[in-house]
Amino acid sequence: MGRSLMPLNPGWIELIYGCVKSGKSRALIDKINSIKNAIDEEKFEKEFLVVKHPLDDKETQGKISSFDGKNIDAIECETAKDLVEHVTKHTKFIFLSGVHLFDRDIVPLLKALVDINVIIVTTGINLTAKGEPYNYMPQIMTITDVYDIRAGECFTSGCGENAYRSIKVNDHFEPRCMKCYYKTEKTPDLVVVTGPMFSQKTLELIAKTKEKERKLELNPVKNEDGFMNKDISAIFKWSEDKRYDLEKIVSHDGNSINAIPIESNSQVINYLKINKQVGFVGFDEIQFFKDPYPLIKELLERGYPIYITCLKEDFRGEGFGDVPKILTLANIIISKEAYCTRCQKQPATKTQRFIIKNGIKTPANYNDPVILVGGKESYTSVCRSCHWVPEKSENKYDNILKLKQIN
């Protein structure tokens, strides 16, 4: 039985994230103040909820504070259960400081809030001082719609470059740039291009690679032996992705570049050991690769600039493989949108898989295999409201929030 069309869904999640002392709280405070100054106080108190986790700057209780001295009043909530108690049927906006400190239930709660059209702007630290994903940030970054990464200033003496990592020094934390953090000769960067199918992600990688190749042709650089260009590109693809060409990555509109098909991480490492002139590494559809997270970490530690395209969610709307963890490593995330082929009114951020039954397109079941390489014959792009997966478990916060909408 089909699902009736739901109302258009204007809810979304904006994540302001980055290392310590990167101005995340200041950015959130500025957003809140700009809205407070534009509407009357009664409307703000009724429709807007300003919340912080109590461990997010413990020195200032009941306030969101920035390291440069700005602050604003906030309700303190330690768990998702605490937060939902403050949501009413009038709540339209939630400003949330310190999302990285919440329990695992914050993820389904944020999903449920967006489904009832609440707009959420939140701050969080994506990585610990050891360079690992912070708590449930991989899952939070997977359901984020708008990414706003903030750079600090590297505290390394004489550096001052943009910082995207944090380290612990004695009893406090300091920001570090990518080069100082990884202690590499060159500056490692990670750009992740994500979005649903048919949102031109591969085209971004193709354009970036061709741009670098043109620059090398115009400004050839010799290596120590004086023969070969440094910084040539190596683009890798999953060997089982044979939709258009085994040794090329091809966009849905026919653009292509050469690529190296691989089956394992060791093939990438071995290729780069042999081809030392490679200075730019790209991966197309990295969600298909086996255990790519440790590979990306190792390449960053070796100083490579990396460019990745991926689906962050599978057809079920769940995090796709290692992609959620890879998102926490990125210092640039480009979020692409397609066109919703169902309602034809909203941008598409989801991938819908379908099967053909008796000549009719039917959404694939939640329990169907996650990986099925295909194109328009098996997939389409849809908005959040039109995305439907039969047999998917109900979000436990859906009914709680629906009751709040009634009462």
Active site residues: 285
Least Cα distance to 293 among 244, 334, 256, 327 occurs for: 327
> Tokens 């000769």 sit at which residue?
185
Rounded Cα distance, 349 and 48, in Å: 26
Burial of 341 per CB tally in 10 Å (0-12, 13-18, 19+): middle
Q: Which two tokens stand for residue 180?
A: 């100082």
Q: Do residues 206 and 251 touch, judged by C-beta distance below 8 A? A: yes
Under DSSP, is residue 349 helix (H, G, I), strand (E, B) or coil?
coil
Q: Do residues 405 and 368 touch, judged by C-beta distance below 8 A? A: no
- Determine the angle formed by the axes of helices 292-301 and 265-274, rounding to 10 degrees: 30
Main-chain phi, psi angles of 118, to 5 degrees: -80, 135
Q: Do residues 240 and 262 touch, judged by C-beta distance below 8 A? A: no
Q: Which two tokens stand for residue 141?
A: 């970054």
Can you spell out the DSSP letters for 296-322?
HHHHHHTT--EEEEE-SB-TTSSB-TT
Rounded Cα distance, 88 and 29, in Å: 22
Q: Which two tokens stand for residue 79?
A: 């768990």
Q: Do residues 208 and 307 touch, judged by C-beta distance below 8 A? A: yes
Rounded Cα distance, 209 and 145, in Å: 26
Measured at the CA of 110, the angle between CA 118 and CA 346, to 5 degrees, comes to 50
Q: Which amino acid is at 312?
A: K
